[in-house]
Amino acid sequence: MKYIQIVPLNESFRWQSNLFEYSLKKVYGDKFKDYAIIPFLKRNQPTDLPTYEYPYETELDTMAIDPIYDIIGKEEAKYIPVNVYSGLRQVLQTLPDDEVVMCIDSDMPLLKPYTGRLPEYHEMLVDNIYEDWHMHLNGKNRNAVEPFLNHKDFNYMSGGSNFMGRVKTWKYIIDNIVESAVRIIDTFPQNNQFRWWANMLGANIACHNYRVPMNHIGGCYFPNVNELQDDHWIAHYSCDPLFHKGSLKDRKWDKFPDNSFYNLAKEWYSTYKV
């Protein structure tokens, strides 16, 4: 199994990726390199000069990724979110078809080893908390995906995310994910939420269009959204006001709750070299 994050080269993603690697070492010990690589974007913003070597400290293998602009021929910053699945598509070409890949954001450290079932071929395992939290694809936000759906059988799209699937399954749907994400951004130019969710929306659309079931496994702790449970093996701190994705300065470390996620964050920070 491999955890794949697509990393832009800036200070925020530098420390997020470093925290992820720290958690990977704690969880998997000497075998941590077997579970992830760092694919990094040659360019994130259209105006960035290309970078071909990963500039930050890491013990993981790295891979330079072509940005979405080079692929679709449009130098517009609005397409930045699509870099995630466009980048994943490039990584998939280097992996065997039976490998299991979980596409994660950089702000998703591990809490413990994953011991749940692995996905079958032609199946995605997801966390459906996103649907009721903010996706609402089966309700008020159906208009975000409706124009791109190829059939009326609604047994596949769940509104979930944190996608885990076999490489063969990913390859089957990845072109439609990227195409749908680009089309969403073009179709809803004034909707900033749909733009930032374009990847999650595109992945739901592709699972629907290709009839790939999205089956809920959960297991993710979202600080400030749900309560930490024994079965949570990964965390996503994107919406946490205490430990957020912004600057590391002026954090109120003494206010952090005493649990495995916040203790991991404090332990990591004590070792992080700015």
Q: For the residues 203-221, what does the mean pLDDT come to?
A: 97
Q: For the residues 134-147, what does the mean pLDDT come to?
A: 93
- pTM of the model as a whole: 0.96
Report whether pLDDT(213) > 80: yes
**pLDDT given at position 27:** 98
pLDDT tens digit sequence for 14-28:
999 999 999 999 999
CA-angle at 106, arms to 70 and 132, nearest 5°: 100
**pLDDT given at position 231:** 95
Report whether pLDDT(217) > 80: yes
Of 93-102, 138-147, 240-249, least confident by mean pLDDT is 240-249
**pLDDT given at position 190:** 93
Q: Write down the domain spans for the chain.
A: 2-269
Q: What is the CA radius of gyration of the chain?
A: 18
Question: Where does the pLDDT of residue 247 fall: very low under 50, low under 70, confident under 90, or very high at 90 and above?
Answer: confident
Instruction: Round the average pLDDT of the chain to a whole number and report it.
Output: 96
pLDDT tens digit sequence for 38-93:
999 999 999 999 999 999 999 999 999 999 999 999 999 999 999 999 999 999 99
Report which of 42, 44, 21 is spatially closest to residue 33, judged by C-alpha positions: 21
How large a percentage of the chain has pLDDT more than 90?
A: 91
Please measure the distance between the N-terminal and C-terminal CA atoms of the chain and give it in whole angstroms. Answer: 30
Lookup result for tokens 């449970």: 229
Cα separation, 151 vs 223, whole angstroms: 37
**Residues whose CB falls within 8 Å of the CB of residue 159, separated by 6 or more in sequence, listed in order:** 128, 130, 131, 132, 135, 136, 137, 138, 204
**pLDDT given at position 131:** 93
The DSSP annotation for 57-125 comes to: --SS-EEEE--HHHHHT---GGGGGGHHHHHHHHHHTTS-TT-EEEE--TT--BSS---SPPPPTT-EE
Question: Where does the pLDDT of residue 209 fall: very low under 50, low under 70, confident under 90, or very high at 90 and above?
Answer: very high
**pLDDT given at position 65:** 98
**pLDDT given at position 127:** 95
Report whether pLDDT(245) > 90: no
Question: Where does the pLDDT of residue 253 fall: very low under 50, low under 70, confident under 90, or very high at 90 and above?
Answer: very high
**pLDDT given at position 72:** 97
Tell me which of 3.30.70.20, 3.90.550.10, 3.40.50.2000, 3.90.180.10 is the CATH number of domain 2-269: 3.90.550.10
**pLDDT given at position 250:** 82
**pLDDT given at position 7:** 97
